[in-house]
Amino acid sequence: RMAELLNDPSILIGLGDGGAHVDMLCDSGYPTYLLGTWVRERGVLSLEQAVQRMTSDPADLFGITDRGRLRPGLAADVTIFDPASIGSSNRGERRFDLPGGGKRMVMPSRGVEYTFVNGYKTYAGGEVVGANAGVVLRDAARPGIQVIVRVVCWHVADRLKLHGCGRIPVPLAVRVAIP
């Protein structure tokens, strides 16, 4: 079923949590998990299809015209990775590095060499480096519009894992407000 969902052009591949559950789960590794597991290991998507599904497809849907493609004059948001080693596990790691020793979950990735945001190097050799170059992205042509997006939500509740269910893809409809 996942092969069908990942190849359905009406489904936007993505994730949004905003850190609401930072101490319980971390699914931020979905891009590297997708590239390692569903592209390289299982061959469900080509590398080119997967990159398009995670870059230009969402940019087009949300009307963010200067992102999602490598072209002169557009923002230079680029991740350079090794296709032979890209990936992440399907479980996060606990770290106690929040103020007061608070717990958070992280999803370490493999195979990412560099990340550039707006043309500035922000990640290299496994470490965050350089400037915080990100900006809030908005669709200037459609302020306030609401878009209905079909997504796949990975439900990874520990109680389900205890019952042997593991990762369960759940199709949802999500209303996204674009301010």
Geometric angle at alpha carbon 175, from 160 and 65, rounded to 5°: 115
Instruction: Give the per-residue SS3 of the chain.
Output: CHHHHHCCCCECCCCCCCCCCCCCCCCCCHHHHHHHHHHHHCCCCCHHHHHHHHCHHHHHHCCCCCCCCCCCCCCCCEEEECCCCCEECCCCEEEEEEHHHEEEEECCEECEEEEEECCEEEEECCEECCCCCCCCCCCCCCCCCEEEEEEEEEECCHHHHHCCCCCEEEEEEEEEECC
Rounded to whole angstroms, the Cα distance separating 75 from 140 reads 16
More confident residue, 19 or 99: 99
Residue 97's pLDDT band (boundaries 50, 70, 90)? Answer: confident
Q: Which of 81, 55, 54 is nearest to 67 (CA)?
A: 55
Residue 10's pLDDT band (boundaries 50, 70, 90)? Answer: confident
User: Among 4-13, 96-105, 134-143, 152-161, whose mean pLDDT is lowest?
Assistant: 152-161
Residue 75's pLDDT band (boundaries 50, 70, 90)? Answer: confident
More confident residue, 16 or 77: 77
Rounded to whole angstroms, the Cα distance separating 51 from 146 reads 25
pTM to 2 decimals?
0.71
Query: To the nearest whole number, what is the mean pLDDT of the chain?
Result: 75
Rounded to whole angstroms, the Cα distance separating 111 from 128 reads 15
pLDDT score, position 109: 87
More confident residue, 40 or 91: 40
pLDDT score, position 147: 41
End-to-end alpha-carbon separation of the chain, Å? 34
Average pLDDT (44-52) is 95
Whether the pLDDT of residue 146 is over 50: the answer is no
